[in-house]
Amino acid sequence: MRISPFVRRFLTFTLLAPFILVPPAALGGYREETHATEVEIAQLPRFCWAQFEVPNATGDEFKMDNRCPGANHYCPGLIYLIRAKGHVSKGERLGLLSRAEGDIRRTERGINDYPTCSISDHVAASRAQVNNHMVLFGLKRRGAQ
């Protein structure tokens, strides 16, 4: 499905508006720890926004539910995955993929005994992305978990 340039610009503005209207210094927590930019945070799923202290992201749709204990490393892992997909050197990419993989692995262990965790499918999809990128860049053999 092709998205028109107008719709793409509208969606980009809609996602970035909360970050543009609030100075970066007002954001904290994981944002400071990972040095995440507004553009990176805008690419995260909405359930990560409270963790990155996005202004006015206080409703339930902006945070993980209580059925996902130990998943606090997941969203920072996604930041590293976003960066690994960007324009970085191979060495930087390998380091970012390793960090993303580690955070996703910790999340998988944390939610393993909680089949009702609402982000399980998202975590599995991110695992597949990390594995594919790690195979592509020689960090993992195809079929290895």
C-beta of residue 52 within 8 angstroms of C-beta of residue 31: yes
Residue 2: CB atoms within 10 A of its CB come to 6
Instruction: Decide which of 25, 47, 63 is a domain's last residue.
Output: 63
Assess whether 73 and 91 both reside in one domain.
yes
Note the pLDDT tens digit of each residue in 30-84.
556 678 999 999 999 999 998 888 888 888 888 887 788 878 899 999 999 999 9
Assess whether 110 and 57 both reside in one domain.
no
Assess whether 44 and 71 both reside in one domain.
no
Assess whether 50 and 76 both reside in one domain.
no
Question: How much is the average pLDDT of 10-15?
Answer: 52
Assess whether 56 and 106 both reside in one domain.
no
Q: What is the largest CA-CA distance in the chain?
A: 45
Assess whether 133 and 91 both reside in one domain.
yes
Note the pLDDT tens digit of each residue in 92-129.
999 999 999 999 999 999 999 998 999 999 999 999 99
DSSP tag of 72: T
Assess whether 72 and 92 both reside in one domain.
yes
The domain total for the chain is 2
Assess whether 43 and 72 both reside in one domain.
no
Q: Is the pLDDT of residue 144 over 70?
A: no
Residue type, 75: C
**Helix residue spans in 21-116 (DSSP H):** 30-34, 38-43, 74-84, 90-111
Assess whether 14 and 26 both reside in one domain.
yes
Distance CA 51, CA 29 (A): 7
Assess whether 95 and 110 both reside in one domain.
yes
Domain range enclosing 112:
65-145
